[in-house]
């Protein structure tokens, strides 16, 4: 069932009229169902193409997942870099990142599900080019934290990596719940609360600004 694949992810053949139909169909099916519960037959039917065509563009079923995820991620990154421009201060950048992050999840439930539920736990995912993009993205987070530490905005008595994990983990956990239970969530409010909490901590203190 879970075959270990080689490292190579994507098929060279990355364009073609049918490809879009397939990946769109796949995406739409993921909105309602789990990856394993989706059959290639179904994908082909929805896409209006033959099952065989899937295998012209994708190495195997799971490759659909990686290529779709990759498209989401690639579409994301440039936006992300733009978003941070003109923002001063690590904390402000983090706040902005939070918002974009949460907003993206709230708008793209399929993307979120893929990331949170489908690909994790598959060894080959961590070898994939796609995972590199996720790591690149995490790197941005870390850089901002480092910047904050250097500028004195962020505490230096806690490992930056742990800070990143808590920040990203918080977002994911909060969004995951909402996604699983199909609840709406407001990026504005969530960002506000999360920043408030994570910046200043849960302790009610006397002298914070």
Partner DNA sequence: CATGAATGAGCATTCATTCAT
Partner DNA sequence: TATGAATGAATGCTCATTCAT
Residue 89 near residue 147 (C-beta atoms within 8 A): no
By the rule CB under 7 A, 56 interacts with DNA:
yes
Alpha-carbon distance of 103 to 82, in angstroms, equals 15
* Residue from 8, 16, 188, 196 in contact with DNA (CB under 7 A): 16
Least spacing, CB of residue 8 vs its own copies, in Å: 16
Quick one: what does residue 17 bind among its own copies, DNA, none, with the CB cut-off 5 to 8 Å set by partner type?
DNA
* Unique residue bearing structure tokens 């439930």: 109
Residue 138 near residue 85 (C-beta atoms within 8 A): no
How many residues form the binding site for DNA (CB under 7 A)? Answer: 25
Alpha-carbon distance of 194 to 173, in angstroms, equals 12
By the rule CB under 7 A, 53 interacts with DNA:
yes
Alpha-carbon distance of 102 to 174, in angstroms, equals 9
Alpha-carbon distance of 128 to 81, in angstroms, equals 23
By the rule CB under 8 A, 166 interacts with its own copies:
yes
The footprint of its own copies (CB under 8 A) covers 1-2, 33-34, 36-37, 39, 91, 113, 116-118, 120-122, 126, 148, 152-159, 162-163, 165-170, 172-174, 176-177, 180, 190, 193-194, 196-209
The footprint of DNA (CB under 7 A) covers 1, 3, 13, 15-19, 37-41, 48-56, 60-62
């Amino acid at each position: 069932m879970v075959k270990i694949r080689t490292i190579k992810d994507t098929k060279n053949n990355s364009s073609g009229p049918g490809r879009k139909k397939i990946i769109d169909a796949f995406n739409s099916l993921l909105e309602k169902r789990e990856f394993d519960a989706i059959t290639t037959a179904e994908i082909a039917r929805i896409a209006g193409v033959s099952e065989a065509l899937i295998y012209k563009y994708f190495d195997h079923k799971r490759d659909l997942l990686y290529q779709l995820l990759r498209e989401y991620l690639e579409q994301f990154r440039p936006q992300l870099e733009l978003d941070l421009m003109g923002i001063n201060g690590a904390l402000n950048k983090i706040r902005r990142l939070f918002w974009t992050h949460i907003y993206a999840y709230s708008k793209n439930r399929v993307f979120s599900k893929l990331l949170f539920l489908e690909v994790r736990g598959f060894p080959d995912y961590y070898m994939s080019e796609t995972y590199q993009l996720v790591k690149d993205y995490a790197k941005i987070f870390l850089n901002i934290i480092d910047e904050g530490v250097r500028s004195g905005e962020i505490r230096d008595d806690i490992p930056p990596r742990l800070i990143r994990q808590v920040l990203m983990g918080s977002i994911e956990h909060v969004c995951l719940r909402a996604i699983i239970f199909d609840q709406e969530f407001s990026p504005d409010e969530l960002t506000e609360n999360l920043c408030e909490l994570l910046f200043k901590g849960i302790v009610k203190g006397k002298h914070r600004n």
